[in-house]
Amino acid sequence: DDLVALGYLHEPAVLHSLRRRFLEAKAIYTYCGIILVAINPYEPLPIYEEEVIYAYSGRNMGDMDPHIFALAEEAYKQMVSSRPLIISGESGAGKTASAKYAMRYFTAVGGCLGDSSMEEKVLASSPVMEAFGNAKTTRNDNSSRFGRYIEIGFSQARVTGATIKTYLLEKSRVTFQAKAERNYHIFYQLCASATLPELRGLALSWLSAGHSHPSGLCDAGGQTSAGRGAWAVPHACAVPAGVPEADQLELFSVLAAILHLGNIVVRGRDRRSVPLQPADEALGLFCTLLGIEALQVTRWLCHRKLVTAGETYLKPLSRQQALDSRDALAKYMYGQVFRWMVSRVNRSLRSLEGHRTSIGILDIYGFEMFELNSFEQFCINYANEKLQQLFNLHVFKREQEEYVTEEIPWVFIDFCDNQPCIELIEGRLGILDLLNEECKMPQGSDGSWAQKLYQTHLGSSHFQKPKRPTDAFVVCHFASKVEYQCDGFVEKNRDAVPEELVGLLRASKSALLAELFLEEGDGPVSLQSRRSSGPRMAGRPSRRSLPSSQKSKKSISSQFKASLNRLMEMLGSTTPHYIRCIKPNDGKQPFVFDSRRAVEQLRACGVLETIRISASGYPSRWTYQEFLERYRALLSREELMGTDEKQICSLALERLLQDPSKYQCGKSKVFFRAGQVAYLEELWYRRLRAACTVLQRHLRGWLARRRFGRARAAAV
């Protein structure tokens, strides 16, 4: 049940044990010290029913088979000392499902205090978040494209409410999806409901007829087949989130407007765009749904306002800049909708009485490495570096606490510290520092930033420059080397949106739009052009030509770093439980185990590092009673005459192992170096075999003598 208790602690033994448990015993859960390894079976299993929940309720870890309910029960019993669950793994490994099972356990065992519907609200929040934050990828049909921390509040051991904090929504998916991937579920669910009478005014059938822009805002080929499950009708998403019925149609209008925005066509050559035609059907639908003027939208999609020392004038944008302006607005609008939905969900889960204790569930993205890696993968892997450092500290802290409690002398070895990699990313003149500086430059570009990276960090052991002549860089993470393409880093980090267009949305008569775009403290900013053009832009523009809001707005990486540091500070003050979800194969086939893929993930999520740390100390620990019950056959008659369990074990081990460095006797346990339990098992097996041989010898002799006696009696 626990990999740390294996006789031999090395990679092949761990992999063999997991493989046998998964394929032969159909056991998807295995302990590894403070980690619960969960392998995705890719088929429903009857191990999450209500009777299973109550079977684990009140039991100690180790009393029953490894299970996420066992870990949830430990967190529930120790909620006063704050024991959050940290769930991580690759996309498709089962993180979201594990988080839902944990939430279900807490609401079932804890029940609800006062508001009997709170349990249903907490459980119903997951499908809402999935509709707006999950999408189909090549690895997972229901991939979470954001991180979340769910804090479930308790009072008198009863559920009183919950709070959800989100991290780094992948907004770029709104305007672009890779081959065989899709946009967020809510768009397809909305299009699947296009024929409903109340939604006909959104003109979604116009999209279904094939009018879909190549940017991929709405995949016309998959609209009707997506989201036909429990959430095919988008009303089901809005009700649990506490969205009033009067606001639901406005919410759907904003989502439909984002789809129509992607179909607005910008014509012209690369250096100069052609003003949009007011007769453009997508433009008309976008403006009608949001209640704004088409002429103003046309103007600010194709121009940018520049303010210099003495005058203000309009600069025409190139076709590519106009397309970037359109896509930036779409991403900004969806980001605001997502934030608004999260705030609505939190409002519906808020408890009037408050809570005394809480249990947190962190459902965070795992380490990512694709063929093409961009800004999103960099931020995700940065978060995993921070979590891995926290994990290493907790493993050593747990080891040290037990050795101190048992009064065992042990010198800690050096472990694989990833602080140099973290310094490379977030330190002074690190990757993020240089990126933010580049974003402040009016003519900042990905290529210029890449050259600054090469000049500053080529001497670092964790930074490399690819051999290919492209703007890219390699970071040596704790899990693996990852090559990142610089293209898009500066634009995504700026997260700039057309200030004038956002001003139009704020001036809309829609109360929901006003709430959406006035909620965030930092104002939106003007989109920065990638190229300089126009007769009055011959020289390099000064910083004064940038809107003041852009100078003060924090970049995406700065916001993410600040929220990540707050999360690490909170987790660092607790002792978390870790759930590492493993994807057994890339084909999503039930109970098929790909050893190569499994070992890659075991390395990336720290399981093998835990094994290495344990192997460096005393990984096998037995209480004196357990040792005597197991190895009584190895004890001599004189040793069995003793009355003190510790003294008996000490004398026996001194005779059996002979080398005092191979074991240590603590106050209540005996600690063994790696491989010593396997040696004792071999001695135990030999002793039993020898005893069996003696028994067989005497039995066979007795049988032979009896046969001989009978034969002699018959002859005489």
Cα separations in angstroms, 488 against 266, 449, 485, 547: 21, 11, 8, 22
11 is catalytic: no
137 is catalytic: no
Do 208 and 220 form a contact (C-beta atoms < 8 A)?
A: yes
> Residue 62 and residue 67: Cα distance in Å, rounded?
10
133 is catalytic: no
Long-range contacts of range 112-118, CB-CB < 8 Å, 24 or more positions apart? 112/158, 112/159, 112/160, 113/155, 113/156, 113/158, 113/159, 113/160, 113/353, 114/160, 114/353, 115/160, 115/351, 118/159, 118/160, 118/161, 118/349, 118/351
Catalytic residue, candidates 73, 119, 368, 500:
368
Under 8 Å CB-to-CB from 561, ≥6 apart: which residues? 426, 432
Q: Which helix (H) or strand (E) holds 22?
A: helix 11-23
Residues marked as binding for ATP? Answer: 89-96
Catalytic residue, candidates 30, 126, 140, 175:
140
208 is catalytic: no
Residues marked as binding? Answer: 89-96
> Residue 612 and residue 610: Cα distance in Å, rounded?
5
> Residue 268 and residue 479: Cα distance in Å, rounded?
46
Nearest Cα residue to 432 out of 379, 380, 491:
379
Catalytic residue, candidates 125, 126, 144, 175:
144
- Number of CB atoms found within 10 A of residue 246's CB: 9
Nearest Cα residue to 337 out of 262, 263, 257:
257
Query: Beta strand 147-155 with 158-167: parallel, antiparallel or unpaired?
Result: antiparallel
Count of residues for the chain? 716
143 is catalytic: yes
CA dihedral 594, 595, 599, 605 (to 10 degrees): 40
Catalytic residue, candidates 30, 73, 88, 92:
92
Backbone angles phi, psi at 463, to 5 degrees: -130, 135
> Residue 466 and residue 200: Cα distance in Å, rounded?
52
> Residue 585 and residue 64: Cα distance in Å, rounded?
28
Do 113 and 153 form a contact (C-beta atoms < 8 A)?
A: no
Do 393 and 575 form a contact (C-beta atoms < 8 A)?
A: no
Do 15 and 595 form a contact (C-beta atoms < 8 A)?
A: yes
Query: Beta strand 85-89 with 577-582: parallel, antiparallel or unpaired?
Result: parallel
Do 223 and 188 form a contact (C-beta atoms < 8 A)?
A: yes
140 is catalytic: yes
> Residue 268 and residue 274: Cα distance in Å, rounded?
5
> Residue 672 and residue 681: Cα distance in Å, rounded?
13
Q: Which helix (H) or strand (E) holds 38?
A: strand 35-39
Catalytic residue, candidates 161, 262, 360, 366:
366
> Residue 605 and residue 38: Cα distance in Å, rounded?
12
> Residue 556 and residue 267: Cα distance in Å, rounded?
31
Tell me which residues are annotated as active site. 91-92, 96, 140, 143-144, 366, 368
